[in-house]
């Protein structure tokens, strides 16, 4: 089981949902970098469970304990390791699921891959809970990027069939607006859609079901010239980490699949010099990346988030111990929609990817 990623910034992820703790080791942070732990905790709280009736009632404070690589408020240059204690587990809720496979979850493929030895409690290492240490690492990277004038943010593009406006539809999105989105559980360009989205999530919860959606992530202030063609392109680096987030089933950059309906004269992002002599483009159909390299416009991409698989509605499945068909109504504490909690996770992996590229001079 591999939990290691990165080149200049190397991450090692460990732990299970119902184990003693989850955590991460970060190699490659520049020495002497001052970390605002209060701001890190703000990001952790955005992802933490039990924050409202839109999320799982499992409550975890998600307080990271830094074990190494940090002294007097600054990085030492040694590997930075942090753990997050699991304090509110109810493993008995998952006793049935050792044998009865949840549709849409990693129970069956995980059992086959690890020959039945994987920790099934709370989905073990497959759980979305393991994204908490990723948010910790991403929060540090966002602070490092912010010193360079780079802001990573996101908004809810859609929940079910309710659509927000796109980033491309806005005349201008400022760094201040991007930061304000982080303070909102349901960040939208069109705030009038908020109640409808809230009602849709609560309706699914009442039915014992779940809903998915789309998150649009954007990066402001990224200069031209980062990335590489082919294997280490900005898109491939981001996509690698985005697809490492549980429940992500698709990604598109800029205009995405809609660009296939355009002619070249429409799809091409024409260059011009602005009043400050800076190179800009009149559109951003390519999402800030051409040839795998940034061109100075905002990076924009959308991620498809599937509905949570653990639902109370009765479903058909199998009992692998008995070797026969079974019916399942999943008990326990589960999110009716993870889109609001996945926003900080997607921002975190975006910041991690860009930090790795920039540290590598790529």
Binding residues: 47, 125-127, 291, 306-310, 333
Neighbours of 49 (CB within 10 A): 20
- What are the CA-CA distances from residue 152 to residues 112, 149, 200 (Å)? 38, 10, 27
Six-digit token pair at 199? 């009602």
Pick from 125, 123, 124: nearest CA to 104: 123
Strand partners, 4: 12
SS3 42: helix
107 contacts: CB under 8 Å, gap ≥ 6 = 97, 101, 120, 123
Summarize the annotated binding site for FMN as residue ranges.
Answer: 125-127, 291, 306-310, 333
Binding site, annotated residues for NADP(+)? 47
Q: What span, in angstroms and rounded, lies between the C-alpha atoms of 178 and 196? A: 22
Structure tokens at 320: 């692998």
Q: Residue 138 has what DSSP assignment?
A: H
**How much helix, strand and coil, in percent to the nearest 5, is found in the chain?**
35, 25, 45
CB 335 within 8 A of CB 56: yes
SS3 call for 121: helix
Backbone angles phi, psi at 8, to 5 degrees: -75, -35
Phi, psi of 288 (to 5 degrees): 85, 5
Give the torsion sign (CA, 20, 23, 25, 31): negative
Rounded Cα distance, 218 and 169, in Å: 13
């Amino acid at each position: 089981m591999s939990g290691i990623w990165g080149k200049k910034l190397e991450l090692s992820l460990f732990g299970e949902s119902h184990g003693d703790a989850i955590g991460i080791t970060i190699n490659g942070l520049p020495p002497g970098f001052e970390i605002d732990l209060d701001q890190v905790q703000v990001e952790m709280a955005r992802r933490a469970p039990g924050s409202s009736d839109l999320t799982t009632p499992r409550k975890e404070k998600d307080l990271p304990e830094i074990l190494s690589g940090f002294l007097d408020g600054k990085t030492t240059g040694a590997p930075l390791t942090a753990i997050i204690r699991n304090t509110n587990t109810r493993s008995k809720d998952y006793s049935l699921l050792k044998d009865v496979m949840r549709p849409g979850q990693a129970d069956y493929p995980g059992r086959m891959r690890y020959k039945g030895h994987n920790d099934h409690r709370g989905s073990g290492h497959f759980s979305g809970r393991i994204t908490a240490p990723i948010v910790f690492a991403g929060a540090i990277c966002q602070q490092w990027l912010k010193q360079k004038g780079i802001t990573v943010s996101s908004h809810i593009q859609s929940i079910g069939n309710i659509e927000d406006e796109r980033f491309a539809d806005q005349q201008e999105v400022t760094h201040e607006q991007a930061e304000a989105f982080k303070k909102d559980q349901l960040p939208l360009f069109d705030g009038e859609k908020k109640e409808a989205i809230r009602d849709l999530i609560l309706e699914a919860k009442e039915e014992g079901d779940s809903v998915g959606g789309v998150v649009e992530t954007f990066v402001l202030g990224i200069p031209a010239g980062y990335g590489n063609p082919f294997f280490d392109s900005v898109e491939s680096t981001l996509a690698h980490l985005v697809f490492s987030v549980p429940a992500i089933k698709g990604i598109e950059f800029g205009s995405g699949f809609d660009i296939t309906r355009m002619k070249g004269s429409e799809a091409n992002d024409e260059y011009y010099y602005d009043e400050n002599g800076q190179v800009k483009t009149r559109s951003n159909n390519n999402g800030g990346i051409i040839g795998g390299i940034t061109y100075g416009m905002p990076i924009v991409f959308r991620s498809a988030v599937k509905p949570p698989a653990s639902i109370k509605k009765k479903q058909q499945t199998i009992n692998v111990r008995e070797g026969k068909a079974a019916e399942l109504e999943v008990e326990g504490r589960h999110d009716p929609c993870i889109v609001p909690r996945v926003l900080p996770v997607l921002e975190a992996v975006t910041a991690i990817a860009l930090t790795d590229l920039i540290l590598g001079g790529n």
